[in-house]
Structure 1
Amino acid sequence: MGLSGIGGATVAEDSGARGGCLACDLTMGNVPLPGGNVLRTESWVVEHCVGPLGPGTVVVKPARHVVHVAELTAQESSELGPLLQRVSAAVTEVMAPEQVYVCLWSHAGGVPGHIHFVVQPVGKDDLARFDAFGPALQVAMGEAEYFPGAAEVERVCERLREALG
């Protein structure tokens, strides 16, 4: 299964040329992904975050390997805003958070990597438990290393798929 990337290379070929990429490996199914793909468009993939940012946190990433927002094609760019709004609405419907954070992450080991937008539901319990908000909350959650269980992720992803239609 090859998704077209720059110059006709598949995502797997393109990521391999860059020394490997977890985002591409997850997209291609080379690494187990609890919940699987939540949504896939022609240009974007939505899947549950594999990091410690809590259940219902999803990643919206280009289907092809992209390191800089400036590298997005016109089609990818035109899909991005409406997709982030749609995914944020689904996360809001399913998780009923106080706020939904949407932020760009793009570094892996201190080096620019495959861009991905993190869509994270945040509730009052999160704010109280970690005594933080915004980027400080994400850092605190990362340091706590709480990873939701696979069964919980599967349930949330099913509900998100239903909300996204």
Structure 2
Amino acid sequence: MAAAEQVARAGCIACELSSGVRPLPGGRLYESSGLVVEHCVGPLGVGTLVVKPLRHVVHVADLDEAESAALGPLLRRTAAAVTEVVRPEQVYVCLWSHMDRKPGHIHFVVQPITKADMARFAAAGPELQLAMFRAGESPGEAAVNAICARLRPLLAEQS
């Protein structure tokens, strides 16, 4: 695989968001050790963030040493920032990677879950995420930009 393909792969939504090929509401929130934090572009609610490698990585086992060492602390810091800003009941952190039933660019979803989310969808856990996807209601760009403005300094000051 060519070096350019390792950094960003054409047709990969995660790579296209990070590289600017696709618009990224809220912009990049944080970057360190080959990992980035961005707001989720799907229907998982305002304040849901994604932690992912900048380069196209399909399996956790393929993370390099720097990415591996930075991942746990960055997930914790990201969850802490989301907790401070959103004040959720719980913060889910889960690995997602499949696209069209094929492994894709790994990304860790850091999702604040409120009592209102659980009541609205009458669900929790994976059932809640599935219900949110079925509803298909992505947060508006203004709401994403506003929450990202609050999250960005928290992520920066924790580094």
TM-score clears 0.5? yes
Q: 2:26 aligns with which of 35, 45, 51?
A: 35
Where do 1:8-157 residues align within 5 Å?
A: 8-9=3-4, 11-12=7-8, 15-16=9-10, 20-157=11-148
C-alpha distance in structure 2 between counterparts of 1:149 and 1:142, whole Å? 15
- Contact 1:54/1:147 (8 A) holds in 2: yes
Q: How far 1:7 moved relative to its partner?
A: 5.6
Q: TM-score normalised to the size of structure 1?
A: 0.91
C-alpha distance in structure 2 between counterparts of 1:49 and 1:8, whole Å? 26
Q: Deviations over 1:61-117 (max 9, x none)?
A: 001000000101111100000000000000000110010000000001111000000
C-alpha distance in structure 1 between counterparts of 2:78 and 2:2, whole Å? 29
- Contact 1:98/1:123 (8 A) holds in 2: yes
The number of residue pairs the alignment matches comes to: 155
C-alpha distance in structure 2 between counterparts of 1:72 and 1:34, whole Å? 26
C-alpha distance in structure 1 between counterparts of 2:136 and 2:4, whole Å? 35
Q: Which amino acid aligns with 1:24?
A: C
- Contact 1:53/1:142 (8 A) holds in 2: yes
Q: Which amino acid aligns with 1:67?
A: V
- Contact 2:36/2:52 (8 A) holds in 1: yes
Q: How far 1:162 moved relative to its partner?
A: 1.6
For structure 2, which runs of at least 5 residues remain unmatched after alignment? none
Q: How far 1:9 moved relative to its partner?
A: 2.5
Q: How far 1:42 moved relative to its partner?
A: 2.8
Q: Which amino acid aligns with 1:61?
A: K
- Contact 1:94/1:163 (8 A) holds in 2: no
Q: How far 1:163 moved relative to its partner?
A: 1.4
Q: Secondary structure at the match of 1:9?
A: helix
Q: Which amino acid aligns with 2:71?
A: L
Q: What value does the CA root-mean-square deviation take over the aligned residues?
A: 1.1
